[in-house]
Structure 1
Amino acid sequence: MIINPKWTINSWKLNLLIEFSVYLCSVFPLEMKRKRKLHFNKIEKRMMTEHGKDASQRVELRERIITAATEAFTSKGIKSITMDDIAAALGISKRTLYEVFSDKESLLKECILKAQADRDKYLQKVFEQSHNVLEVILAVFQKSIEMFHQTNKRFFEDIKKYPKVYEMMKNRQDSDSMKTMSFFKTGVEQGIFRSDVNFAIVNLLVREQFDVLLNTDICNEYPFIEVYESIMFTYIRGISTEKGARVLEDFIQEYRKNRIED
């Protein structure tokens, strides 16, 4: 049998073509699968990045709202400020505001919680830098004076009209009272406070005096800050030892040099 050389060459090429086709059929789906996977990974990564940006922007917006609302509530009172006012101050729509906070009371609650958290951080910092508990108490007193200068009295009156928030603040006040009792005990151990004082009664009286201060007409006759100072300094003098009294008098002298006038 005579074999046609051209046929042999063509058959060889044909076999090679078939083998290459088989190879492509086996490899191409894998390559497509790999490319699809890379493509979806890119999409997923982009979506995660965008989601992260959205979450970050939402947190930033939330903080901006709390800051603006706190400033408005404390400077003008709570009742006089509307959600519209806050949205306008921030340059956002009311709908956007309500997407973050469902109502005014929930926003007020977060404002109070943020203020409490900031105060806790400040207290911890002061505690670490102070030599005794009276220095801590006086530093917190001075900080509260600064706060009162920036706070409209109506804020304290209005907050009672928001039962959930007011209850939360009362609970926090009870918790703070326990910490204050611990401070008094430490002060006795440090020789700053007298050991013959019933500090539970003192603590209760100070709290009640503050409530009276906010709910009577005494501030129509005397400046609020002056009355508050008199209450605090009188009580601290009454519970202090000679050592504590010296710390207090040194503080008062320095405090009055830098006192913020009404």
Structure 2
Amino acid sequence: MREKIIYKAAELFLTLGFKSVTMDDIAQEMGISKKTIYVHFANKTKLVEAVTFHLFDTICDGIDTICGSSNNPIEELYAIKMFVMHHLNNEKASPHYQLKKYYPQIHKALKFKQFEKMHDSVQESLQHGVDTGVFRDTIDVDFISRMYFTGMTGIKDNMFFPTETYTMDYLMESYLEYHLRAIVTEKGFKIMNNFITSNQS
């Protein structure tokens, strides 16, 4: 039952927002009593925390699978972007913004976990790109991986990139191209261009 509650709550939180959805809403959607939810979660904050880290773990598992099977680091980054967008395709209520505003401690803990995960995997991907000649061998792998994380979290800031003006898909696609153009070799540029062209046609 705990897993079913997390799954349904995640669906509602991503669609309607962390603030808007009540424990009553979740219970009603599931056709159970609110008391049943409280057996597994002491309060809404505990449920939000469980949902947040469940989503994080699910996305991490998917990213690990992609990293283990991709042809090269450039296609890997695009595959990860498409996976994340597909996984959050019902995200209509700026959950990232709501989490930061209403559950700052959970947001802070999530951001730290995201940094640890992304920093390690991006460093590995960058080094692989250098070793295979698609990224310049002069790049500072540690610095670039930190910059990549900063940019990917920065584009989610609604103050700078309002959702009325930019879709998340556009922001991620544009940032990815911006990031890659700064580090690719001529060989990497051809791979990137071919990939972009073939996926637009």
Q: Which band: TM-score by shorter chain?
A: 0.7 to 0.9
Q: Which amino acid aligns with 2:50?
A: E
Deviations 1:151-175 (A, max 9, x none): 1242011111213321221221221
2: distance between equivalents of 1:253 and 1:225?
A: 17
Q: Which amino acid aligns with 2:191?
A: V
Superposed, 1:247-262 pairs within 5 Å as: 247-257=191-201
Unaligned runs of 5+ in 1: 1-60, 258-262
Q: Relative to total residues, which structure has the larger helix share, 1 or 2?
A: 1
Between structure 1 and structure 2, the one with the greater Rg is 1
2:182 equivalent in structure 1 = 238
| Compared CA separation, residues 126 and 218, structure 1 to 2 (3 A) | closer
2:58 equivalent in structure 1 = 118
1: distance between equivalents of 2:167 and 2:55?
A: 25
1: distance between equivalents of 2:161 and 2:78?
A: 24
Instruction: State the aligned residue count.
Output: 197
Higher relative contact order (CA 8 A, sep 6+): 2
Find out whether 1:195 has 2:123 as its counterpart.
no
TM-score between the two structures when normalised by the length of structure 1: 0.68
Find out whether 1:205 has 2:147 as its counterpart.
yes
Instruction: Quote the RMSD (CA, aligned, Å).
Output: 2.0
Of the three residues 218, 222, 232, the one matched with 2:161 is 218
1:108 equivalent in structure 2 = 48
| Compared CA separation, residues 212 and 116, structure 1 to 2 (3 A) | closer
| Compared CA separation, residues 205 and 134, structure 1 to 2 (3 A) | same
Superposed, 1:25-44 pairs within 5 Å as: none
Q: Which amino acid aligns with 2:33?
A: S
1: distance between equivalents of 2:78 and 2:173?
A: 11
Q: Which amino acid aligns with 2:52?
A: I
Shift of 1:201: 3.5
Q: Which amino acid aligns with 1:165?
A: I
Shift of 1:141: 1.1
Structure 1 runs (4+) deviating above 4 angstroms are none
